[in-house]
Amino acid sequence: MKAFFDARQLGHAPNIYFRRGAAMPHQEQPRRAELLRDMLIAENFSISAPRDHGLAPIKAVHDPDYVDFLPTAHARFVADAGPDALAIPTAHPGRRRGKEPKDIHGQMGWWMTDTSTPLTEGSWDAAYWSAQTAIEGAEEILSGARAAYALCRPPGHHAMRDGANGFCFFNNACIAAHHLTRKFRKVALIDVDVHTGNGSLDILYERGDIFFCSLHPDPRTYPTFYLGHADETGEGEGEGASMNILLEKGASESDVLAALDRGLSAIRDFGAEALVVSLGFDMAADDPLAAVAVYPEGFAEMARRLAAMKLPTVLVQEGGYLGPSLSDNARAFLTTFREAIR
């Protein structure tokens, strides 16, 4: 199983974000990807840099105007607000009535849904190459491989069709899933990050060719809020093709594995021909954003059950922050998955 990563993904380097009204150190740090990369090297994974597939696969999933906003947004912000200002939106249009403004601060609010995804000098390159990494993983599957691991950073599953959200700029997993539809008639995307795959739900909600399932605590009381309720099952052509499985806060490994089994059963019923996994190690009991209690052996068992689907699979990295067991959890999952598909 090949892994893909580009060092330019380390260029996004936010220092702080706002949580519950207070500024605090940003959880989504370049060190996350360095630890995962170093584990891959230690475990003899083959790591390749992705090729440049351009903007078309990204714009196939995201609003092209949103994509075009991002490359120059940080430079424009700094030119107006100064280098010491935090590049976050401070004005929002509410529920999107109105028109996109031309002022950079108005545009930030138009295209960025919260304050958790500040722009830095290297954010565009990092987000672009994170998406290219996911596309390369999908290309590996289209070429006949059984599985690929895309070490995507920044993560992607909170990115909406037309906006950044929750540490995420581009929805790497949705981009990969859409790319797979070039070959596969039915694709499934299962999200095992502890947070709702709200961006994926937004993007895929009316699609009938990609089944989406997310495991997460109740969004009424846990971020990212708003989307991810059990009764949100899709609309139009996508009716019945979205599934949200709610976990209790503090859920045990056995609870999480039972929820995973429900999701995998639904994917079998859907008749998926290929699989994308939004892989979050923030399910860990000691993750800084912990809400459930999964340990390394639990991640290994998740890998066994996902591999047992016997589907061509792209593993797309999402969350998993700088807790003590990040490398151990990644090692347990990825080495187990690699062995299970041999």
3-state secondary structure (DSSP) of residue 174 = helix
- Rounded to 10°, the helix 64-81/123-142 angle is 160
What does the pLDDT average to over 100-109? 93
Instruction: Please confirm, yes or no, whether 158 is among the known catalytic residues.
Output: yes
Mean pLDDT (the chain) is 97
d(CA 143, CA 131): 18
Q: What is the pLDDT of residues 1-52, one digit of tens each?
A: 999 999 999 999 999 998 888 999 999 999 999 999 999 999 999 999 999 9
CATH number given to 2-63+122-340? 3.40.800.20
CB 170 within 8 A of CB 58: yes
SS3 of the chain: helix, strand, coil, percent, to 5: 40, 15, 45
In 207-270, alpha helices (H): 253-270
pTM of the model: 0.97
| Selected catalytic residue, list 12, 158, 178, 195 | 158
3-state secondary structure (DSSP) of residue 301 = helix
Dihedral (C-alpha) 104, 92, 24, 81: value to the nearest 10 degrees?
A: 20
β partners of residue 163: 160
Q: Which two tokens stand for residue 122?
A: 């290297």
Q: Is the dihedral of CA 151, 152, 153, 157 positive or negative?
A: negative
In the chain, alpha helices (H): 30-42, 56-59, 64-81, 104-111, 123-142, 172-180, 198-204, 253-270, 296-307, 326-340
Q: What are the strands, taking DSSP E only, across 91-166?
A: 147-150
Q: What is the pLDDT of residues 207-231, one digit of tens each?
A: 999 999 999 999 999 999 999 999 9
- The amino acid sitting at 340 is A
Residues of the chain with pLDDT > 90, as a percent, come to 96
Q: Which residues are within 8 A (CB) of 303 and not within 5 positions of it... i.e. 6 or more apart?
A: 332, 333, 334, 336, 337, 340
- The amino acid sitting at 106 is G
Q: Which two tokens stand for residue 308?
A: 């047992």
Phi–psi pair at 332, nearest 5 degrees: -60, -45
d(CA 194, CA 223): 10
- The amino acid sitting at 162 is D
Q: What is the pLDDT of residue 93?
A: 83
Q: What is the pLDDT of residue 207?
A: 98
CB 196 within 8 A of CB 166: no
Q: What is the pLDDT of residue 60?
A: 98
Q: What is the pLDDT of residues 241-251, one digit of tens each?
A: 999 999 999 99
Bridge-based pairing of strands 16-19 and 22-25 is: antiparallel
Q: What is the pLDDT of residues 132-191, one digit of tens each?
A: 999 999 999 999 999 999 999 999 999 999 999 999 999 999 999 999 999 999 999 999
DSSP secondary structure of 72-110: HHHHHHHHHH-TTS-B------TTT-S---SSHHHHHHH
Q: What is the pLDDT of residue 20?
A: 85
Q: What is the pLDDT of residue 342?
A: 92
Q: What is the pLDDT of residue 227?
A: 96
pLDDT at position 95 over 80: no
d(CA 111, CA 117): 11
β partners of residue 275: 188, 313
Closest CA to 263 of 193, 341, 321: 193
What does the pLDDT average to over 76-105? 90
CA within 13 Å, CB half, 154: 32
Q: What is the pLDDT of residues 249-287, one digit of tens each?
A: 999 999 999 999 999 999 999 999 999 999 999 999 999
